[in-house]
Structure 1
Amino acid sequence: MHTNSPKLNLTAELDIELAATRRVLERVPFEQADYKPHPKSMSLGQLATHVVNLLAFKTLFLTYDSRDFLDPTAPKPGPTPTSKEELLARFEEYSAALREALAASDDEQLTHEFRLHRGEHTITQRPKAAAIRIMGLNHSIHHRGQLTVYLRLLDVPVPGLYGPSADEK
């Protein structure tokens, strides 16, 4: 593979983002899982679970050509974890499955279209590599950022993600 390989680029980016995500998840105070900074916000437990479940969504982009949100037989994430240990175990399981699916793919497969839809309504349709980056990685990074705000509001030291955090200086 050449250095402009979408697979190599995604793999390198995934390794960095998974390590950063794990550092944040390790700090989630599950005893405060019901905490919400605002009535419209997800709870801390829901948000942390969503960040982990998005890993399965990225795997889906690699494994299938489409996902219909109205399909009752489509793969669904497991039940909401009840502890940090369960959350981290699911993170490890889903991370391993994602890495395995990416390793089994090739650059040509990553150019195939992936369609995310609700019945006949297309939500997004783009090459798999772009779907993984935009709907997968970027989406996960967005929610991980929200999770770090929850940690800050709960006075939990925030880990550094792309350098030291204010708590690590």
Structure 2
Amino acid sequence: MIKQALLGEFLHEAESTRKLLKAIPDSALDWKPSDVNWTTAQLASHIAEVYNWFESTFNQDVFDMGTYAYDKGDISKAENIVAKFEENVSKAQKEIENSDESAYFNEWKMEMKGNILFPPMPKVQVIRSFLYNHLYHHRGELVVYLRSTGNKVPGLYGPTADDRF
């Protein structure tokens, strides 16, 4: 039952993420709002990467960022970021579909070199916060990036100012 709820939300929200990533023009990839922020390409790549974390989150009780490695590929073209997203979202969907609901309440934590980065909590709570809500947060940032560079934003939860009624 929990799995079906997680999968339904995942599929719906992955489509919204797809629409948003496909709205990024190459001309906006190098833009960033300040010196301390990521570029649009880095932010979009991170959004695609979060889908790569589903395997570790669903199948391990400890996510060791000290040993985690990820090949983001060439992020100089928006289509490459979308392709990486598609690769990762497909794997993430399979992880949810193949997951064992009896493990959803196992304690999960994130560490790096023995230091706890993400406090221990039930895996299902991590799925909702570390995976899902984390993605939504960064999508919101990406909407602001697109608007700030004069680009249109697709409707994620209904029409946007760019849509004609």
Question: Normalized against structure 1, the TM-score is what?
Answer: 0.90
Any idea what the Cα deviations from partners look like across 1:128-149, whole Å, max 9, x if unmatched? 2211110111011000100000
Please identify runs of 4+ aligned residues in structure 1 that moved more than 3 A. Answer: none
Percent of aligned pairs with the same residue?
30
Q: Is 1:118 paired with 2:112? A: yes
Q: 1:45 pairs with 20, 41, 47, which one? A: 41
Structure 1 gap segments, 5+ residues each: none
Stretch moving more, 145-154 or 53-62: 53-62
Any idea what the Cα deviations from partners look like across 1:10-62, whole Å, max 9, x if unmatched? 11111111011111100111233111111111101100101100111133201
Where in structure 2 are the equivalents of 1:5-154 lying within 5 Å? Answer: 5-71=1-67, 74-123=68-117, 124-154=119-149
8 Å contact kept, 2:104–2:122: yes
* Whole-angstrom CA distance in 1 between matches of 2:11 and 2:128: 13
* Whole-angstrom CA distance in 2 between matches of 1:29 and 1:37: 16
Structure 1 residues 113 and 139, CA, compared in 2 at 3 Å: closer, same or farther? same
Structure 1 residues 135 and 80, CA, compared in 2 at 3 Å: closer, same or farther? farther
Structure 1 counterpart SS, 2:24? coil
CA RMSD of aligned residues (A): 1.4
Any idea what the Cα deviations from partners look like across 1:112-142, whole Å, max 9, x if unmatched? 2221112222222222221111011101100
Q: Which amino acid aligns with 2:83?
A: A
Any idea what the Cα deviations from partners look like across 1:86-130, whole Å, max 9, x if unmatched? 111111110110000111112112222221112222222222221
Q: Which amino acid aligns with 1:85?
A: E
Stretch moving more, 114-123 or 134-143: 114-123
| 1:80 CA drift (Å) | 4.2
8 Å contact kept, 1:49–1:80: no
Question: Normalized against structure 2, the TM-score is what?
Answer: 0.92
Stretch moving more, 33-42 or 146-155: 33-42
Aligned residues: 163
* Whole-angstrom CA distance in 2 between matches of 1:14 and 1:139: 13
